[in-house]
Amino acid sequence: MAKKIPAGEFKAQCLMLMDRVKKYGQAVTITKHGKPVARLVPAQDEVLEKVQSPFGVMAGTAEIKGDIVKSTGEKWSADEK
């Protein structure tokens, strides 16, 4: 379970809490008036961040074979006019 800390206390101990989160990997929930408003969580490895992003997930998985611009000679209905 994540440690809960009031915003005022978090403000006073911010740097120490950041070090603790980095060292132990345990998240801290920051509260205001007893209600959660934010979480301090350990940063993820850059490799994991790239995998979680939908952009570039399929990069390098396709291969173009042959000329993709040259006509195949096949007739299309759009050619008939």
For residue 75, tell me if it sits in a domain: no
Positions in the chain short of pLDDT 70: 1, 45-53, 81
- What is the domain count for the chain? 1
Domain membership of residue 13 (yes or no) is yes
What pLDDT score was predicted for residue 8?
Answer: 94
Can you spell out the DSSP letters for the chain? --EEEEHHHHHHHHHHHHHHHHHH---EEEEETTEEEEEE-PPPPHHHHHHHSSTTTTTT-----S-SSS------GGG--
**Does residue 23 belong to any structural domain of this protein?**
yes
CATH of the domain at 48: 3.40.1620.10
Domain, as residue range, for 9: 1-55
18 found inside a domain: yes
Closest CA relative to residue 25, chosen from 2, 4, 8, 47: 2
Residue 72 located in a structural domain = no
Average model confidence (pLDDT) across the chain: 83
- Amino acid 51: pLDDT: 56
Residue 78 within any structural domain of the chain: no
Question: For the whole model, what pTM was predicted?
Answer: 0.53
